[in-house]
């Protein structure tokens, strides 16, 4: 507002300062009026008047501006566009007269439209529009002259815009502009502007309706222009009307319409132009059309308008062309182009106009058969089209800009509203911020009951539950493992018991050998010795019988744990030994396998390990041991191959065929290492598979070896078939057709070689196959080629169609966004009113900044920090308990950061709750780990014991099989010697037999003995009451006690089981302490035992294994406690007998 006021003041001052008197003013006005009126009838006179006005207007800037405007108009009419623009620039530079400035703007628009500078046209139009709305707001203050000038500028403004749109082919926009103009034109006020308006309507494109009606309406407008212009001497409009009429008459259809509806006017015109009819054209109508053009040309020449002369010449050419008089047409077009070329020296080209002439020339040359010239002009035509395309794009922008110009005032109001709105919003936002901060604070205070913390706690609870369950599972698993281990431990005690029975043979054997040796010395007094030998044999036979029956007792019990498993499990367990092999510089190769077998996994692992141990023993550094598996029919053969010292043929035979051999004699004696019982144990295991079921009948064990090169030990176990699914992937490929491009190439080639008919056909085919939005450039090229072909063929209809399509698509495709920024610049253009806007906006910004600085910033910061804290809180809670430690630290960090205790406390409390929960989980997890470790250890021990027990079974069975026969045979020999007497041969025989017996027995016993290297006992303090509770649950009466013993509770339970098994009726347990020993006494009111029974109750000859198991348990305890001489005694009592055993007392 302030700026505007300043401007107005300046204007007033300028006017006050002028020293022009009123007389001069009138003369200036008169000259200017003359120049204005003459501009459409005589350019030169108009220019003269304008110059006169200019000369007078030294002290009158308004008059000067008007004069300059008039001069610029003349320059425009003479196509001196640069001069015109220069003059207009001058006006803009010095004048403050808004109306003259508006006139200058409008004329600038006109010039820019003519020379095809769309962007500059817009600039001018925008300027003019703004100026216009400002002037119209003060319309009532204007003088008559000023009103007149305003009327001119207003009508001109819309008509020029309409022309602009018309030439761009935007008919609707053109129509709406002319509609605007119609509101202001007035025949009485300004005849020239009325003529201009009428002519615009008549020259085509601005009237809607049926073609006949439009033609007639246009004819009417033109006829009106012609008659009025002629009457008033406005040559310019007279000529223009004639030119348009000529084009109309040249069109046979339109001419017919006019003839039918306005026969009178037609006849009048025809009559008037008879004298112009000089051509020899086929029809009178064409003669008439040509005459109209000639008249038009003549008028334009008089008027001295180069541009319009050229236009009229072009119209004449077109008339000739339509009439088929091509040479005449060529001459006309040539003249038009010549005028254009004259003009083209100026920097401003009239592009669309030039393009049209070139197209006309191209067509005419083509019609005359001069293909080369036709092509030259066509190419020029296309190039010019390309230049003028930006007009089109700007046009689309123009609508927007116009709208903007119109809504400036609305914008101002809106801006004010916006200010209020922003203020209100800022206030609301500030309030909301405060509320939000409060709600954040509340959220932080109540974090414990938030969704996130509930979720976190829930997850923690879940985790606790899961780990509890896991612990439960682990414990259950541990329980199972413990049970299984216990079973194996107890079984091992049984095995050791049996082994002790087997051992009982050995002292007899020694005595036997000693007796047999002494037999020789005795001579005839051999009888008592022989009978002692017989007795010893009988004793051994009793022991053998016991052993046999106990071994048989266990047969039929499935002691192998057969399952199906992947061999790779065993192989990968074995592969862990690679590093220990590497330490000895032996390369252990364990290739992966996908075979599955059905066998005892523990024993299979044991066998593989045994074979690997052997291989390692006999392979020197730098050697290689390979473990392999491959399937043979329904079995898998697992073999261990080494590059070691190898075995002799004899050794291989022994290993493969003999059941019993001395393993220490197998293998390299040089190495000083025996072969051990490993192979024998493996063979024993394979045999026990075979005994188990027919499924394992193909199980086998074997050795292959070459001395010095290495050995291969193998065994076979049943295979399990597994299925593999193979998925095949298919790929499909799509090839894009290149046919359209091929067709375009064909079209182009055909056009080049003059085969136009073919080219037309090719292009038509290609066009039908192209996908429009995708391949627009191709389509443009195709239509162009098609137009060229049609032109060459002389098919003008087809040419027009193709060319129109080509131009349309060309414009469509060439639309690009490069002008967007230009238009933005347009919008940003400074203007007076905009300064005001800027001030308001600046004020707004400043107040907003102040508001921000004073109120918002602190609130925002507070909010942001709260927001941040809350986000951190939520993040910490959400990552709970996955990254509990990090979350814990984050919570502590947040609590440290918070100052208000009412916010700090809940966070700390939450943190503590979570940490406590986590600690619980951690403890549970520790327990799980412990339980798992324990389970692992128990499994390991179980496996070890299981293998031992299994091998002991095999070994004891072998002892039984291989040695049972000897005692009876020796006894038989002794019997014979008793009868026949001792001779050297029979003595030798007996000696050999007993020696061999001992050798075999010791060998097999040693194999078995190797499996019992360690006591399976775990000593602990056992409350006797616990043992008694166990006994009571088995139906044995016990008295109360609080004594404690050192022992293995599980094995002691085994002992109690044995007591129960020998089923002492009414058995009762008592306990008493003697010195450092606790005696547990089991007494029974049964018949007393004989002395014989009592003394052999715990000897291998005893009838029940249970007594021996009791002895074994006590014996194990004795050994484990360091041989304190623990007792196990049976003795008669007054009412029956009792068994008592002692254990070390524990404090």
Partner 1 sequence: MDKFKVIIVEDDKLELKGTQQILQTEVPEAEIIGTAQGESDFWKLLREGQPDLVLLDLGLGGSTTVGVDICRQLRTRYADMKILVFTGEILNERLWIDVLGAGADGIILKTGNLLQRDDIVQVMHGRHLVFNEPFLEKVMARFRKVVCKEQASVDAFLEYEIDEYDERFLRHLALGYTKDMIAGLRQMPFSTKSLEKRQVDLTNRLFPERERSGVNAVRLVVRAIQLHIIDPDNLVADEQ
Nearer to partner 1, 268 or 503 (CB): 503
Minimum distance, C-beta of residue 975 to partner 1, in the bound complex (Å): 17
Minimum distance, C-beta of residue 615 to partner 1, in the bound complex (Å): 21
Q: How far apart are CA 262 and CA 256, in angstroms?
A: 10
Q: How far apart are CA 60 and CA 834, in angstroms?
A: 30
Minimum distance, C-beta of residue 711 to partner 1, in the bound complex (Å): 25
Contacting residue, 1115, 1137, 1138, 1144, with partner 1 by CB under 8 A: 1115
Find the part of the chain contacting partner 1 (CB under 8 A) among 55-63, 400-408, 667-675, 1121-1129.
1121-1129
Q: How far apart are CA 883 and CA 905, in angstroms?
A: 23
CB 1051 within 8 Å of CB 1110 = no
Minimum distance, C-beta of residue 559 to partner 1, in the bound complex (Å): 28
In Å, what is the CA distance from 333 to each residue of 293, 338, 342? Answer: 13, 8, 14
For residue 711, the 8-state DSSP code is: E
**Per rule CB under 8 A, is residue 347 in the interface with partner 1?**
no
Find the part of the chain contacting partner 1 (CB under 8 A) among 201-209, 455-463, 632-640, 1124-1132.
1124-1132
Contacting residue, 1128, 1137, 1138, 1144, with partner 1 by CB under 8 A: 1128
Structural tokens at position 1117: 């305890």
Nearer to partner 1, 511 or 712 (CB): 511
Find the part of the chain contacting partner 1 (CB under 8 A) among 331-339, 528-536, 561-569, 804-812.
528-536
Minimum distance, C-beta of residue 1011 to partner 1, in the bound complex (Å): 14
- The residues with which 1077 forms a beta bridge, in sequence order, are 1074, 1144
Find the part of the chain contacting partner 1 (CB under 8 A) among 4-12, 187-195, 296-304, 508-516.
508-516
Nearer to partner 1, 247 or 1008 (CB): 1008
**Per rule CB under 8 A, is residue 535 in the interface with partner 1?**
yes
Nearest partner of 932 among 480, 465, 462, 461, judged by Cα: 480
Nearer to partner 1, 389 or 529 (CB): 529
Minimum distance, C-beta of residue 478 to partner 1, in the bound complex (Å): 34
Contacting residue, 1110, 1120, 1137, 1143, with partner 1 by CB under 8 A: 1110
Helices and strands in the chain, H and E counts:
43, 14
Minimum distance, C-beta of residue 677 to partner 1, in the bound complex (Å): 17
Contacting residue, 405, 419, 422, 506, with partner 1 by CB under 8 A: 506
CA angle 344, 345, 349 (to 5 degrees): 35
Dihedral of CA atoms 915, 917, 923, 925 in degrees, nearest 10, equals -110
Contacts of 206 (CB under 8 A, 6+ apart): 162, 166, 171, 174, 175, 178, 200
Q: How far apart are CA 679 and CA 954, in angstroms?
A: 13
Nearer to partner 1, 149 or 492 (CB): 492
Nearer to partner 1, 466 or 545 (CB): 545
DSSP 666-702: SS-TTTT----SHHHHHHHHHHHHHHH-GGGTT-EEE
Minimum distance, C-beta of residue 536 to partner 1, in the bound complex (Å): 6
Contacting residue, 180, 468, 707, 1131, with partner 1 by CB under 8 A: 1131
Contacting residue, 403, 1125, 1134, 1147, with partner 1 by CB under 8 A: 1125
Nearer to partner 1, 536 or 780 (CB): 536
Using CB under 8 A as the criterion, what x/- string covers residues 1069-1108 for binding partner 1?
Answer: -------------------------xxxxxx-------x-
Q: Total residues at the site for partner 1 (CB under 8 A)?
A: 37
Find the part of the chain contacting partner 1 (CB under 8 A) among 177-185, 531-539, 804-812, 920-928.
531-539
Minimum distance, C-beta of residue 505 to partner 1, in the bound complex (Å): 11
**Per rule CB under 8 A, is residue 511 in the interface with partner 1?**
yes
**Per rule CB under 8 A, is residue 1130 in the interface with partner 1?**
yes
Minimum distance, C-beta of residue 1071 to partner 1, in the bound complex (Å): 18
DSSP 190-215: -HHHHHHHHHHHHTSSS--S-HHHHH
Find the part of the chain contacting partner 1 (CB under 8 A) among 29-37, 807-815, 892-900, 1119-1127.
1119-1127
Using CB under 8 A as the criterion, what x/- string covers residues 243-282 for binding partner 1?
Answer: ----------------------------------------
Nearer to partner 1, 515 or 642 (CB): 515
Report phi then psi at 189, rounded to 5. Answer: -70, -45
> 3-class SS at 446?
coil
Q: How far apart are CA 356 and CA 378, in angstroms?
A: 10
Using CB under 8 A as the criterion, what x/- string covers residues 474-503 for binding partner 1?
Answer: -----------------------------x
- The residues with which 1072 forms a beta bridge, in sequence order, are 1079
Contacting residue, 539, 678, 917, 1016, with partner 1 by CB under 8 A: 539
Contacting residue, 40, 166, 365, 508, with partner 1 by CB under 8 A: 508
**Per rule CB under 8 A, is residue 532 in the interface with partner 1?**
yes
CA angle 639, 643, 647 (to 5 degrees): 80
**Per rule CB under 8 A, is residue 704 in the interface with partner 1?**
no
CB 248 within 8 Å of CB 212 = no
Rg of the chain over Cα atoms, rounded to whole angstroms, equals 62
Q: How far apart are the first and last CA of the chain?
A: 111
Nearer to partner 1, 3 or 1129 (CB): 1129
Contacting residue, 507, 591, 620, 981, with partner 1 by CB under 8 A: 507
Q: How far apart are CA 411 and CA 337, in angstroms?
A: 49
Q: How far apart are CA 177 and CA 115, in angstroms?
A: 20
- The residues with which 624 forms a beta bridge, in sequence order, are 587
**Per rule CB under 8 A, is residue 520 in the interface with partner 1?**
no
For residues 568-597, which are near partner 1 according to CB under 8 A? 585
Nearer to partner 1, 251 or 535 (CB): 535
Structural tokens at position 417: 């509203």
**Per rule CB under 8 A, is residue 1127 in the interface with partner 1?**
yes
Nearer to partner 1, 503 or 1030 (CB): 503
Q: What is the CB neighbour count within 10 angstroms for residue 638?
A: 25
Helix axes 284-303, 252-261, angle to 10 degrees: 90
Nearer to partner 1, 140 or 525 (CB): 525
Contacting residue, 271, 347, 523, 528, with partner 1 by CB under 8 A: 528
Q: 844: burial class by Cβ within 10 Å (0-12, 13-18, 19+)?
A: middle
Residue 573's Cβ-side half-sphere holds a number of Cα atoms within 13 Å equal to 14
For residues 679-698, which are near partner 1 according to CB under 8 A? none
Nearer to partner 1, 297 or 1114 (CB): 1114
Nearer to partner 1, 583 or 730 (CB): 583
Nearer to partner 1, 486 or 1002 (CB): 1002
DSSP 117-166: -HHHHHHHHHHHHHHHHHHHTTGGG--HHHHHHHHHHHHHHHHHHHHHHH
> 3-class SS at 46?
helix
Q: 840: burial class by Cβ within 10 Å (0-12, 13-18, 19+)?
A: middle
- Contacts to partner 1 by CB under 8 A: 503, 506-508, 510-511, 514-515, 528-529, 532, 535-536, 539, 585, 1094-1099, 1107, 1110-1111, 1114-1115, 1118, 1123-1131, 1141
């Amino acid at each position: 507002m302030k700026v505007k006021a300043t401007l107005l003041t300046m204007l007033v001052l300028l006017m006050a300062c002028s020293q022009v008197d009123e007389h001069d003013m009138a003369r200036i006005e008169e000259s200017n009026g003359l120049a204005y009126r003459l501009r459409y009838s005589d350019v030169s006179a108009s220019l003269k008047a304008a110059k006169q006005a200019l000369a007078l207007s030294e002290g009158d800037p308004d008059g000067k501006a008007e004069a300059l405007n008039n001069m610029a108009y003349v320059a425009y009419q003479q196509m001196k566009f640069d001069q015109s623009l220069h003059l207009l620039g001058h006006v803009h530079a010095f004048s403050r007269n808004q109306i003259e400035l508006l006139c200058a703007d409008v004329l600038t628009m006109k010039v820019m439209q003519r020379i095809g500078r769309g962007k500059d046209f817009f600039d001018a139009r925008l300027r003019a529009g703004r100026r216009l709305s400002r002037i119209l707001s003060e319309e009532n203050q204007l003088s008559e002259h000023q009103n007149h000038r305003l009327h001119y500028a207003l009508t001109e403004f819309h008509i020029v815009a309409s022309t602009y749109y018309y030439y761009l082919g935007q008919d609707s926009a053109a129509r709406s502009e002319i509609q605007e103009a119609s509101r202001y034109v007035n025949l009485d006020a300004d005849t020239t502007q009325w003529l201009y308006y009428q002519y615009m309507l008549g020259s085509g494109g601005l009237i809607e309706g049926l073609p006949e009606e439009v033609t007639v309406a246009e004819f009417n407008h033109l006829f009106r222009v012609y008659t009025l212009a002629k009457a008033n001497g406005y040559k310019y409009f007279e000529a223009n009307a004639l030119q348009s009429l000529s084009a109309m008459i040249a069109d046979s259809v339109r001419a017919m319409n006019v003839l039918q509806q306005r026969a009178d006017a037609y006849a009048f015109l025809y009559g008037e132009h008879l004298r112009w009819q000089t051509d020899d054209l086929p029809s009178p109508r064409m003669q008439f059309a040509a005459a109209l053009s000639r008249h038009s040309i003549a008028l334009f020449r008089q008027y001295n308008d180069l541009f319009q002369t050229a236009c009229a010449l072009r119209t004449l050419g077109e008339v000739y062309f339509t009439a088929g008089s091509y040479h005449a047409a060529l001459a006309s077009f040539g003249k038009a182009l010549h005028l254009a070329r004259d003009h083209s020296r100026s920097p401003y080209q009239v592009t669309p106009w030039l393009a049209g002439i070139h197209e006309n020339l191209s067509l005419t040359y083509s019609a005359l058969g001069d293909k080369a010239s036709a092509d030259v002009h066509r190419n020029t035509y296309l190039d010019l089209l390309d230049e003028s395309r930006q007009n089109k794009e700007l046009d689309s922008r123009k609508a927007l800009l116009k709208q903007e110009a119109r809504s400036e005032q609305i914008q101002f109001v809106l801006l004010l509203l916006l200010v209020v709105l922003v203020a209100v919003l800022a206030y609301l936002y500030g309030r909301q911020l405060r509320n939000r901060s409060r709600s954040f604070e509340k959220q932080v205070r109540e974090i414990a009951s938030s969704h996130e913390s509930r979720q976190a706690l829930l997850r923690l609870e879940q985790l606790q539950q899961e780990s509890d369950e896991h612990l439960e599972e682990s414990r259950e698993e541990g329980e199972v493992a413990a049970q299984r281990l216990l079973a194996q431990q107890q079984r091992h005690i049984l095995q050791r018991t049996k082994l002790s029975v087997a051992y009982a043979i050995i002292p007899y054997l020694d005595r036997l050998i000693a007796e047999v040796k002494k037999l020789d010395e005795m001579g005839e007094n051999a009888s008592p010795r022989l009978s002692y030998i017989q007795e010893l044999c009988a004793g051994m036979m009793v022991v053998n019988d016991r052993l046999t029956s106990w071994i048989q007792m266990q047969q039929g019990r499935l002691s192998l744990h057969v399952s199906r498993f992947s061999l790779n499990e065993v192989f990968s367990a074995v592969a862990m030994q690679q590093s220990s092999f590497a330490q000895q510089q032996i390369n252990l190769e364990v290739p992966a396998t996908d075979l599955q077998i059905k066998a005892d996994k523990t024993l299979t692992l044991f066998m593989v390990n045994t074979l690997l141990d052997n291989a390692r023993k006999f392979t020197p550094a730098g050697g290689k041991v390979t473990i392999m598996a491959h399937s043979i029919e329904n079995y898998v053969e697992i073999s261990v191959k080494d590059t070691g010292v190898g075995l002799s043929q004899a050794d291989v035979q022994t290993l493969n065929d003999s059941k019993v051999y001395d393993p220490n004699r197998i293998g390299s004696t040089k190495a000083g290492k025996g072969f051990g019982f490993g192979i024998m144990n493996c063979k024993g295991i394979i045999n026990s598979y075979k005994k188990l079921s027919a499924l394992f009948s193909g199980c086998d064990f074997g050795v292959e070896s070459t001395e010095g090169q290495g050995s291969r030990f193998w065994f076979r176990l049943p295979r399990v078939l597994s299925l593999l699914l193979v998925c095949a992937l298919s790929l499909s490929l799509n090839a894009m057709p290149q046919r359209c491009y091929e067709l375009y190439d064909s079209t182009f080639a055909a056009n080049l070689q003059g085969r136009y008919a073919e080219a037309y056909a090719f292009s038509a085919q290609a066009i039908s196959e192209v996908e429009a939005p995708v391949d627009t450039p191709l389509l443009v090229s195709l239509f162009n080629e098609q137009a060229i072909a049609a032109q060459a063929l002389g098919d003008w209809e087809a040419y027009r169609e193709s060319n129109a399509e080509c131009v349309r698509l060309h414009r469509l495709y060439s639309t690009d966004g490069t002008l967007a920024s230009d238009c933005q610049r347009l919008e940003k253009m400074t203007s007076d009113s905009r300064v005001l806007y800027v001030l308001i906006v600046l004020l707004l910004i400043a107040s907003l900044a102040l508001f921000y600085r004073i109120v918002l910033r602190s609130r925002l910061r507070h909010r942001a920090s709260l927001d941040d804290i809350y986000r951190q809180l939520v993040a910490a809670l959400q990552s709970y308990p996955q990254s509990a430690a990090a979350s814990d630290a984050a919570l502590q960090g947040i609590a440290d950061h918070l100052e208000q205790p009412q916010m700090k406390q809940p966070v700390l409390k939450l943190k503590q709750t979570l940490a406590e929960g986590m600690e619980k989980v951690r403890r549970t997890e520790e327990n799980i780990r412990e339980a798992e470790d324990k389970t692992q250890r128990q499994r390991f021990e179980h496996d070890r014991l299981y293998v031992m027990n299994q091998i002991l079974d095999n070994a004891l069975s072998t002892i039984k099989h291989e040695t049972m026969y000897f005692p009876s045979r020796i006894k038989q020999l002794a019997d014979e010697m008793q009868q026949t007497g001792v001779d050297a041969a029979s003595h030798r025989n007996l000696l050999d037999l007993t020696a061999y017996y001992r050798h075999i027995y010791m060998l097999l016993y040693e194999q078995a003995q190797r499996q019992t290297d360690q006591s399976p006992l775990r000593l602990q303090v056992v409350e006797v009451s616990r043992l008694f509770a166990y006994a009571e649950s088995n139906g044995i009466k016990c008295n109360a006690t609080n004594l404690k013993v050192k022992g293995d509770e599980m094995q002691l339970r085994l002992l109690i089981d044995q007591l129960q098994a020998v089923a002492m009726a009414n058995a009762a347990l008592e306990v008493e302490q003697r010195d450092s020993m606790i005696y547990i006494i089991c007494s029974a009111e049964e018949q007393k035992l004989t002395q014989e029974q009592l003394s052999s109750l715990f000897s291998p000859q005893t009838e029940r294994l249970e007594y021996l198991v009791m002895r074994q348990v006590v014996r194990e305890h004795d050994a484990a406690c360091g041989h304190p001489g623990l007792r196990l005694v049976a003795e008669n009592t007054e009412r029956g007998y009792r068994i008592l055993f002692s254990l070390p007392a524990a404090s």
